[in-house]
Structure 1
Amino acid sequence: MKNSENNIIPFPSREVKQETIESGSNLDLNNLTKMLEYLTALINSSGKPSTYSLEFKKEILDNKNDEELIDILNSSSETNWQSHPAYYQALVAVLISRKLIPKL
């Protein structure tokens, strides 16, 4: 069975994490999981944000370093995700593109 069929999010092994996340930057995987679940439910109920909106948010986030991106994710909450879903979807996309989290 594929991971997507089980709704399982594959996370990198410890070795992969050490290669992709600089020491001192601890990604809160519990918060990431909650955010992904929340954004998925939000998208399923209200639709996807526009491509333009996502690209604009990605451009903003591309100017931040890895540690800043991880801090944004770690300090975010359900209120943030609800208020700015495109921003947090773009954050996930940037984290994936930088190989800080695996492609989902």
Structure 2
Amino acid sequence: MQISILDGMSDTTIKVDSGVRDRLRAVAHRRHVTLGALLDSVSRDLERAERMKEIAEQYETYAREDPAGFRAEISESHDWDQLAGDTLPPARNEYPDLQR
């Protein structure tokens, strides 16, 4: 099955299984958006999720390769949060062995 997506400037056709097309159409219908708008939103969400995963992996590498530097950065981040009046508690369970 093919889906044609019109974005105002050009159109693109992608081949997808008819079940995939039907699920996407149903979600787009429930959200009252076009299929193109839904796919745009989903692709942006996927990009953001991938970027957040990359950032988490970089932090894990930093924590593993330079624990002291990582602890110092976490501590400084908490200090800045307090100075800014951030009332959220720090995420202590994120890196429990590196917290002060």
With the length of structure 2 as denominator, give the TM-score of the two structures: 0.29
Please tell me whether Structure 1 or Structure 2 has the larger radius of gyration of its CA atoms: 2
Structure with greater strand percent? 2
